[in-house]
Amino acid sequence: MKVTVQFEAQLRQVAAINELQVELPDRDSLQSALQCVCDQLGESLHERLLTADGQVRPSVMVFVNDRPVVSSVSEPHQLIDGDVVLLLPPISGG
Protein backbone atom coordinates (compact mmCIF):
# COMPACT_ATOMS: atom_id res chain seq x y z
CA MET A 1 0.00 0.00 0.00
CA LYS A 2 1.06 3.61 -0.49
CA VAL A 3 0.80 6.23 2.24
CA THR A 4 1.66 9.91 1.94
CA VAL A 5 3.39 11.60 4.88
CA GLN A 6 3.26 15.40 4.97
CA PHE A 7 5.57 17.60 7.03
CA GLU A 8 4.76 21.01 8.48
CA ALA A 9 6.78 23.80 10.13
CA GLN A 10 10.12 22.69 11.65
CA LEU A 11 9.65 19.09 10.54
CA ARG A 12 9.41 20.29 6.93
CA GLN A 13 12.69 22.14 7.35
CA VAL A 14 14.42 19.11 8.84
CA ALA A 15 13.00 16.71 6.25
CA ALA A 16 13.85 19.19 3.46
CA ILE A 17 10.69 18.10 1.60
CA ASN A 18 6.97 18.83 1.89
CA GLU A 19 5.82 15.23 1.66
CA LEU A 20 7.01 11.70 1.06
CA GLN A 21 5.13 8.73 -0.30
CA VAL A 22 6.09 5.42 1.30
CA GLU A 23 5.31 1.87 0.27
CA LEU A 24 4.25 -0.36 3.18
CA PRO A 25 2.76 -3.82 3.67
CA ASP A 26 -1.06 -3.80 3.75
CA ARG A 27 -2.60 -2.70 7.07
CA ASP A 28 0.77 -1.66 8.49
CA SER A 29 0.90 0.61 11.54
CA LEU A 30 1.45 4.34 11.83
CA GLN A 31 4.62 3.68 13.88
CA SER A 32 5.98 1.48 11.13
CA ALA A 33 5.31 4.18 8.53
CA LEU A 34 7.00 6.85 10.60
CA GLN A 35 10.01 4.63 11.24
CA CYS A 36 10.25 4.04 7.48
CA VAL A 37 10.17 7.80 6.89
CA CYS A 38 12.90 8.40 9.47
CA ASP A 39 15.03 5.63 7.96
CA GLN A 40 14.78 7.37 4.58
CA LEU A 41 15.24 10.97 5.74
CA GLY A 42 17.79 10.64 8.51
CA GLU A 43 18.61 10.80 12.19
CA SER A 44 17.85 14.50 12.57
CA LEU A 45 14.19 13.90 11.69
CA HIS A 46 14.09 10.81 13.90
CA GLU A 47 15.28 12.84 16.90
CA ARG A 48 12.53 15.43 16.42
CA LEU A 49 9.74 13.00 15.58
CA LEU A 50 10.22 9.80 17.61
CA THR A 51 11.34 8.89 21.10
CA ALA A 52 14.11 6.34 21.72
CA ASP A 53 11.52 3.54 21.90
CA GLY A 54 9.90 4.52 18.58
CA GLN A 55 6.87 6.38 19.91
CA VAL A 56 5.75 9.68 18.42
CA ARG A 57 6.98 12.51 20.62
CA PRO A 58 4.12 13.88 22.76
CA SER A 59 4.70 17.37 21.35
CA VAL A 60 4.04 16.26 17.76
CA MET A 61 0.44 16.15 16.62
CA VAL A 62 -0.43 13.45 14.09
CA PHE A 63 -3.42 13.52 11.77
CA VAL A 64 -4.51 10.74 9.43
CA ASN A 65 -6.90 11.93 6.73
CA ASP A 66 -7.48 15.17 8.68
CA ARG A 67 -8.40 13.35 11.91
CA PRO A 68 -6.20 13.54 15.01
CA VAL A 69 -4.62 10.21 15.92
CA VAL A 70 -3.11 8.95 19.15
CA SER A 71 -1.16 5.79 18.53
CA SER A 72 1.11 3.66 20.67
CA VAL A 73 2.85 0.31 20.56
CA SER A 74 0.10 -1.18 22.73
CA GLU A 75 -2.66 0.38 20.57
CA PRO A 76 -1.27 0.82 17.06
CA HIS A 77 -3.18 2.80 14.46
CA GLN A 78 -3.45 0.76 11.26
CA LEU A 79 -3.12 2.57 7.98
CA ILE A 80 -4.79 1.72 4.69
CA ASP A 81 -3.82 2.40 1.09
CA GLY A 82 -4.10 6.07 0.21
CA ASP A 83 -3.99 7.42 3.77
CA VAL A 84 -2.43 10.85 4.25
CA VAL A 85 -0.48 11.36 7.46
CA LEU A 86 0.16 14.97 8.54
CA LEU A 87 2.89 15.67 11.10
CA LEU A 88 2.56 18.94 12.97
CA PRO A 89 5.25 19.89 15.47
CA PRO A 90 4.67 22.41 18.26
CA ILE A 91 4.45 25.94 16.96
CA SER A 92 5.81 28.81 18.94
CA GLY A 93 6.36 32.45 18.30
CA GLY A 94 5.14 35.80 19.24
**How confident is the model over 3-62, as pLDDT tens digits?**
999 999 999 999 999 999 999 999 899 999 999 999 999 999 999 999 988 889 999 999
In this predicted structure, the answer to whether residue 94 has a pLDDT above a threshold of 60 is no
- The set of residues, in sequence order, having a beta carbon less than 8 Å from that of 35 and lying 6+ positions away, is 50, 54
In this predicted structure, the answer to whether residue 72 has a pLDDT above a threshold of 80 is no
Q: What are the residue boundaries of the structural domains of the chain, listed by start?
A: 2-88
Instruction: Report the run of H or E that residue 14 belongs to, with start and end.
Output: helix 9-15
Confidence at residue 90, expressed as pLDDT on a 0 to 100 scale: 82
Which of the four pLDDT bands, split at 50, 70 and 90, describes residue 91? confident
Confidence at residue 70, expressed as pLDDT on a 0 to 100 scale: 80
Instruction: Report the run of H or E that residue 40 belongs to, with start and end.
Output: helix 30-41
CATH superfamily of 2-88: Beta-grasp domain (3.10.20.30)
